[in-house]
Structures are given as structure tokens and as C-alpha cells.
Chain A
Amino acid sequence: MRKSSIFTFLFVFLLMMLGLNVKSNSQEKKIILNWWGAPGHIEEEQAIKEILIDTFEKAYPNISVIRTLKNEAERRIPLATGDVIPDIVRTEGPAFSVEFAASKVILPLEKYRKKYDWDKKIFNWALKVSEYKGVLYSMPLGYETVFLWWNKDLFKKYGWTQPPNWKSRPGTAYWDDLVKTCEEIQAQKKIPFALGTSGFIAINEWWNNISFENYAGHDKVRSALLGQLPWNSKIFVEAVEKLNYLWQRGYISNKQSMAITNDDAQALFAMQDAPMRVTGTWEFAKMVDLDFDWDWIPFPSWREGALCSVVLGLGTSEAINVNSRYPDEAAALLNWIYSDAKRGGRLAAETYLVPPITLKPSDFPKGMDPRKTRFFDFMAKQSASKVGLGYVTWTSYPPKSNEHWYTNIENVFVGKMTPQELMDGFQKIFEKEFAEGKVPPIW
């Protein structure tokens, strides 16, 4: 009895070892891809897993993707130390990818660009801005823009002129109606624009995009980014003066934008204390739940001749670690994002990521908010037309110049710096970054 027990035990043990061995062999063959992103909303992250990662793993059974969320500083450390993990790393946009590419810590992607025919799939501007010295280094995971969002119900209730009806006048464009509407809103003891930068000072740059593109105009901004027009020239100083005018009159968060957060600003909009917001399309998810009628519009021009149909940018870029053991598999995962319009449509509908590919209305899930559907249609047309496509600062401006602007605009607001001084400083830093090749390619 005792002998048979020992044999039974040994037999079971051998079987277990055999099983473990089979399992470990299969695990050895499985490639683990590490993909590091930024912390965000849990629901959106879950959607990314379902739409991208799960389907990819199903299509590539020998690859397993581990998605880890790390902050900006944490994501840079393994690149600095030459670690093999992560395989794919998020950068804060092409302006930051330039620094990574110059330091040779991310992989050139030209080989994969040809292999997967990305030029045919992805919007040309999105690929171009992701290049460094003519070579593609990062992939545009999601594109975005900054809009004027307004509360249609509140505008109707008080009889304010709805933004699409603001009149363009010679010499002033829509500026007069903008100011008149703000005055009327204030008369009702409401705040025209909700903005909150406390806790994330870079939010100021949303208004930078508006003031530069809508007052100076797309052509002037383009010339300045190409180094042909100094940033401290009169037109840009005037653009800052216009923005400062809005702020000093209390039109923007009643001069309290530095004391409230972006969530607070959204709360002001949601509670109908502020009928307008300037924010990005990544906030669609917050808008769809509002219990009043709202809509979006590209911010109307502030000056006659200042042509800008919409500003375009990439909030998320993905690059491959130069030390990755699986660059081919990492590229396959990146390609997965662009290889199916239906998948792209679902991603755009359920997350903040809008793949820069042509998406037709039939690509989106049924029941999507029509204002969001209209947005995708609008963006696809604008991307294709290339007329008046403006630049968002976090994509097309070099990082130190940008940081100078969004930090020191607050000094302008509180009277510690003049618009001229702000732009003189901006020009000085830009000149240096321009000489170092830190300005992303301009379309």
C-alpha cells in the first residue's frame, strides 16, 4: 500500500513537471511587448485594451502586450539608462520626440513606413511632423484640435449671438462680436470663458494657439516657425495684447484662471456659470454627458486676413525604444492602430485617441453623438484640403520656447511682464532651439 502510494505520487509529480515544462516552453516562445503610456481615464484605458491590445493579441497569438501607465519623467528614465523595456514608449508629442530622436534613444521607423505603407494610410501632415531630419521617428497615435465650445441653450435663453453668427467685419473680423457677446454675458453675472490652469500650467497654451493663429494668422505663424519672421514682431505682440485684453476684462475665468483647475473650469461650464470654453477635442467624453445643448466651432478669426480654419496637433506620439528586443513586433502593434478603419472608428469614439486616418461615418459605432461624427468629418476634410491648417504648440513648437510662453503669459496677465517682453524672451529661446534643429517639421 505504502509502495503504491509512493509510485502514485511520483507518477503525478512527473506528470506535473511535464505539464510545467510544456507550459514553460510555450511561454518561452511568447514575445512580451511592453508598451508604456500615460495615466488617463480608466474607461478609456479599458477601451484601448479591448480595441487594440486584445484584438492584436488575437491576431498575433505569439505576442503578449503589457500596457503600463507611467508619468512623463518615469517614461524617460529607461531610455536614458539604455534599458530594453519598454518596447514602445509614449512621448508628449512630436516636439518631444525630436529630443529623443536627436539623442538616438528611439528607433528610426523608415523601414516600417515602407513595409506597412503608412504614407498611404496616415494623414501626410501627421507623418511629416513626426520626422526628425527627414526620418520618421515616432507614430501619431491620436490627433486633436482646440475648439470653441458653447452652451447653445444659455445663448438662446439670454439672446446672445451664437458664435457661428458672429459677423465678420472689415478690419476687425469677428473680434467685435466676440467682445460684445462677452460683455452681454458678464451683464448676466456669468463668466464668458471658463479656463483653469492650476495644477497644469501648460493649459495656457490652448489660448496661445487661438491668439497666434486667429490674430496673427496661419501664414505668419508658419513663417515664424520656419525662422523667417521673428516672434517678437508687431503682429505676435498684438496677438498677445488681444488675449491679455480678454483676460484683463475678466472674460476668461474672471481673472481667476490660475486659481482653478481644468476640472473646475469644466464644472463652471457644466453648471452653466460659464457658457463658453476653449479646450481640446480630447474632452468630448466630458461634453457628451452635459444636460444642455452644446456645440463646437473652430474659433473665429480675430483679424481680417488672419486665415486659420483649424489648428491641428498630435497629443500622443508613440516611439520604439532603440534597445527594444522586439522592434518588428512593436512596429506591427503600431501598424495595428492604422490598419483597420472600423477599429480606428471605435477607438476614436470610445477614447481620446483619434488615429490620423480617413474615417467614414460608417466606420463609427452606431449611436455616436452626431456632434462628434461631424467633428471627424470636418477634421478629415480639413486634413485633406490643407488650407489654413494651423499648428498646435505642443506639436509644432519647440518645447523650451513653448514652456516660456505658457508660463510667462501669466506674468503678462498679472502685470509683471509686457507682451513685448514675453515675445522678446520667446524669440531668444526659439532662435536657440531653431539653430539646434529642435523645431519639428512644418507642413
Chain B
Amino acid sequence: MKRKAIAWLFLLPALVFYLAIVIIPSVATIGYSSFTRWNLLDKPIFIGLDNYIRALKEDPVFRIAFVNILKYVVAFTTLPMWLGFFIALLVGRVTKMQTFYRVVFFLPVVIASVVTGRLWQGIYHPFFGINRVFQNIGLSFTLPTLASPNTALYSVLTADMWHWWGFNMVIFLSALQQIEPAYYEASELEGANTFQKLIYVTIPFLKPTIIFLLLMTAVMSLVSFDYVYIMTQGGPGHASELLSTYLYKLAFHNFEAGYGSALGVLLTLFSLFFICGYVFVRRKGWEL
């Protein structure tokens, strides 16, 4: 009993901190503001489920932002995952200068998003960037990139994924280095080729890492904000709008904090879907 009390005592500072900055604001967002009409300055007016009805039934921008976030999740959980995985496999085989490759590939992760965003804006620049390169090699077309509603989201996604994939690579590399070489030796004795070793040894051992990274990447992509805000502010029109950028604009620019909170709650519920999936798989012992 005493040991338990001491344990709680040690947990108390962190618990208080967590309560103050996570739990209380979250509960307040759900209970206090998402069911209200609130401009962030005045007293909130209770309006029941109106904000949720507006989001799900009446707001076309919410639909655009929601579809865009789905595209973001799908893109993020595929390309940077595969790229991170295969580059980790290659870097893992490198014996000389491995640290150099790790640092180079990881570097974009630690560069501030505003720097990366501006850098990619430069690359996409219609007059000086990649289009100028096309012109110089004799190609006469202009890549639409950020100016077109059909390509703006994917252009931002490319920049965001470029910044993220190195993180996946480093985690995969660490996980790969945990696999006992004896397993590979045993499989070689059984006559397994490189592909079979990948399928029957590497991937099964990496399963917890893959699922963890999938969850991490999915949740991270759900709350993506900075690249869209820096590079397009959700434009052209709302073509690259995400739920996070939209709710920020609503809450802090349009004085619609109540409605913005409701969108925040919907975004959280959507994140919970992935987290529940993760918990389920974990309980199943990582067996899908």
C-alpha cells in the first residue's frame, strides 16, 4: 500500500501537468466549446449539436478538408513507409560511411518546417524553380504545382513526405539491427534466398515496428498543419485545405471558436479510430 502511495506521489507532478495541459483543455473543448456558438472572446452560447450538424451536413469546406486528410493519411502511410523501409534495408547493408547516410537521410526531419516549406516553394516556383529547369532543357510546359487545385495538395504532400520519410528510415534501421544474425544464418542453411529472408525473417520481426510506425504516421498526418499553412494556406480556394488548417482559420480568424472546436473533436474521433486499431493489434500479439 505504502509502495503504491509512493509510486503515485512520484507520478503526481507529471499527472498534474498532464491534467492541466491535456485532459482539462480536451474536456473543455468537447463539453464547453464544441456545443456552443463562441467567438473566443464572449461567453459561449449553448447550441446543442448544431456545430456537428453544420459540419456533417452543410459545410462543403469540411467535406473537402476531410477528403484531403484521407488523401494525406493514405499517402503518408504508403510512400514514406516503403521508402523508409527499403532505404533502411540498403543502408543496413552498408558497412562504410553508414552514419553519413543515416545523417543525410535524417536531416530533413530536423529542419524547421517553415524552412522546408519555403525551400519547396522555391522548387515549385513557376518563374525561377523547377519550371526554369524545364525551360533550360528545352521543355516548354509549366508544371502547375501550387497554383492548380488539382496538384496543390500533392505538391504540399511531396514536401511534407520528403521531410518525414527519414524518420521512418531511422526507426526501421534500428529495428533491423535488433534482429539476431543467427536467424539469417539459419535461413541460409535452409537455402533461403534474399527475397525469402526478407519475407520470412525480416518482415515478421519488424511487424511491431511497422504497425507502430503506421499508427504514428497516420496520426501525424491527421494533424498536419504547417506545410499546408506555409505553402498554400489551404488554397487555391480550399483545394489543399486540411481539417487542422480550416479549424485554425475558423477559431482564430473568423471568430468561430465553437465550430472550430467541433471540428477538432471530429478530428480526434477520427484519430481514435487508428489508435483503437493499434491497441487491438497489439493485444492480438501483433498478428493481423
By a beta-carbon cutoff of 8 Å, the part of chain A in contact with chain B is: 72-73, 76, 79-80, 99-100, 102-105, 197-201, 254-261, 264, 268, 273, 399-400, 403, 407-408, 410-411, 413-414, 416-417
Q: A199-B233, A408-B237, A413-B236 given as contacts; is B253 within 8 A of A259 (CB)? A: no
Residues from chain A with a CB closer than 8 A to the CB of B231 are 198-199
In the complex, per-residue mask of B220-232: 1 if CB is within 8 Å of any chain A CB, else 0: 0000000000111
For B232, give the chain A residue with the smallest CB separation: A198
Contact of B41 among A79, A197, A256 (CB under 8 A): A79
Q: A199-B233, A259-B124, A410-B235 given as contacts; is B42 within 8 A of A72 (CB)? A: no
Q: Would B121 and A99 count as touching, CB distance under 8 A?
A: no
In the complex, per-residue mask of B195-239: 1 if CB is within 8 Å of any chain A CB, else 0: 000000000000000000000000000000000001111111111
Q: Would A264 and B125 count as touching, CB distance under 8 A?
A: yes
Q: In chain B, residues 9-59, which have Cβ atoms closer than 8 Å to a Cβ of chain A?
A: 39-42
Residues from chain B with a CB closer than 8 A to the CB of A261 are 121
Return B68 CB to nearest CB of chain A, in Å: 14
Residues from chain B with a CB closer than 8 A to the CB of A410 are 235-237
Tell me, in angstroms, the Cα distance from A189 to B125 when the chains sit together.
18
Q: Would A256 and B126 count as touching, CB distance under 8 A?
A: yes
Tell me, in angstroms, the Cα distance from A198 to B252 when the chains sit together.
19
Residues from chain B with a CB closer than 8 A to the CB of A254 are 126-127
B147 proximal to A (CB < 8 A):
yes
Q: In chain B, residues 98-154, which have Cβ atoms closer than 8 Å to a Cβ of chain A?
A: 121, 124-127, 142, 144-149, 152
B274 proximal to A (CB < 8 A):
no
Q: Would B149 and A416 count as touching, CB distance under 8 A?
A: yes
The main secondary structure of chain A at its interface with chain B is: helix
Return A184 CB to nearest CB of chain B, in Å: 20
Q: A198-B146, A199-B230, A260-B126 given as contacts; is B237 within 8 A of A407 (CB)? A: yes
For B251, give the chain A residue with the smallest CB separation: A73
Residues from chain A with a CB closer than 8 A to the CB of B278 are none
Residues from chain A with a CB closer than 8 A to the CB of B149 are 411, 414, 416
Q: Would B39 and A258 count as touching, CB distance under 8 A?
A: no
Residues from chain B with a CB closer than 8 A to the CB of A268 are 127
Q: Would A105 and B41 count as touching, CB distance under 8 A?
A: yes
Tell me, in angstroms, the Cα distance from A417 to B149 when the chains sit together.
12
B255 proximal to A (CB < 8 A):
yes
Residues from chain B with a CB closer than 8 A to the CB of A407 are 234-235, 237-238
Residues from chain B with a CB closer than 8 A to the CB of A199 are 121, 230-231, 233
For B257, give the chain A residue with the smallest CB separation: A80
The 5 closest A-B pairs by CB, nearest first: A411-B237, A103-B41, A259-B147, A73-B252, A259-B146
Residues from chain B with a CB closer than 8 A to the CB of A80 are 40-41
Q: Would A259 and B41 count as touching, CB distance under 8 A?
A: no
By a beta-carbon cutoff of 8 Å, the part of chain B in contact with chain A is: 39-42, 121, 124-127, 142, 144-149, 152, 230-239, 248-249, 251-255
Q: Would B121 and A103 count as touching, CB distance under 8 A?
A: no
Residues from chain B with a CB closer than 8 A to the CB of A103 are 39, 41-42
Q: A399-B254, A407-B238 given as contacts; is B41 within 8 A of A200 (CB)? A: no
For A412, give the chain B residue with the smallest CB separation: B237
Return B200 CB to nearest CB of chain A, in Å: 48
Contact of A201 among B233, B251, B254, B255 (CB under 8 A): B233
Tell me, in angstroms, the Cα distance from A199 to B117 when the chains sit together.
10
Q: Would B253 and A399 count as touching, CB distance under 8 A?
A: yes
For B230, give the chain A residue with the smallest CB separation: A199
Residues from chain A with a CB closer than 8 A to the CB of B233 are 198-201
Residues from chain A with a CB closer than 8 A to the CB of B235 are 197-198, 201, 258, 407, 410
Tell me, in angstroms, the Cα distance from A273 to B252 when the chains sit together.
37
Q: A254-B126, A256-B127, A258-B152 given as contacts; is B232 within 8 A of A76 (CB)? A: no
Residues from chain B with a CB closer than 8 A to the CB of A414 are 148-149, 236-237, 239
Q: Would B147 and A257 count as touching, CB distance under 8 A?
A: yes
Return A419 CB to nearest CB of chain B, in Å: 14
Tell me, in angstroms, the Cα distance from A105 to B127 when the chains sit together.
46
Tell me, in angstroms, the Cα distance from A45 to B63 when the chains sit together.
42
Return B36 CB to nearest CB of chain A, in Å: 13
For A79, give the chain B residue with the smallest CB separation: B41
Return A393 CB to nearest CB of chain B, in Å: 14
Contact of B145 among A76, A259, A413, A416 (CB under 8 A): A259
For A254, give the chain B residue with the smallest CB separation: B126
Contact of A99 among B144, B239, B249, B255 (CB under 8 A): B255
Q: A201-B233, A408-B237, A410-B235 given as contacts; is B127 within 8 A of A99 (CB)? A: no
Tell me, in angstroms, the Cα distance from A308 to B40 when the chains sit together.
37
Q: Would A102 and B42 count as touching, CB distance under 8 A?
A: yes
Interface centre among A73, A80, A255, A260 (most CB of B within 10 A): A260
Tell me, in angstroms, the Cα distance from A403 to B144 when the chains sit together.
25
What are 6 A-B residue pairs whose CB atoms fall within 8 Å in the complex? Answer: A99-B39, A198-B233, A199-B231, A255-B147, A260-B127, A407-B234
Residues from chain B with a CB closer than 8 A to the CB of A403 are 249, 253-254
Q: Would B232 and A258 count as touching, CB distance under 8 A?
A: yes
13 additional contacts, CB 8 Å, given A198-B232, A268-B127? A76-B40, A80-B41, A99-B255, A100-B41, A199-B121, A256-B127, A258-B147, A399-B255, A407-B238, A410-B237, A414-B239, A416-B149, A416-B239
Return A108 CB to nearest CB of chain B, in Å: 16
Tell me, in angstroms, the Cα distance from A399 to B249 when the chains sit together.
12
Residues from chain A with a CB closer than 8 A to the CB of B144 are 259
Tell me, in angstroms, the Cα distance from A73 to B231 when the chains sit together.
19
Residues from chain A with a CB closer than 8 A to the CB of B127 are 254, 256, 260, 264, 268, 273
Return B144 CB to nearest CB of chain A, in Å: 8
Tell me, in angstroms, the Cα distance from A264 to B42 when the chains sit together.
39
Return B155 CB to nearest CB of chain A, in Å: 9
For A92, give the chain B residue with the smallest CB separation: B253
Residues from chain A with a CB closer than 8 A to the CB of B147 are 255-259
Tell me, in angstroms, the Cα distance from A401 to B234 when the chains sit together.
18
Tell me, in angstroms, the Cα distance from A255 to B255 when the chains sit together.
32
Residues from chain B with a CB closer than 8 A to the CB of A264 are 125, 127
Return B279 CB to nearest CB of chain A, in Å: 34
Q: Would A411 and B126 count as touching, CB distance under 8 A?
A: no
Return A331 CB to nearest CB of chain B, in Å: 21
Residues from chain A with a CB closer than 8 A to the CB of B42 are 102-105
Q: Would A258 and B146 count as touching, CB distance under 8 A?
A: yes
Residues from chain B with a CB closer than 8 A to the CB of A256 are 126-127, 142, 147
Residues from chain A with a CB closer than 8 A to the CB of B121 are 198-199, 259, 261
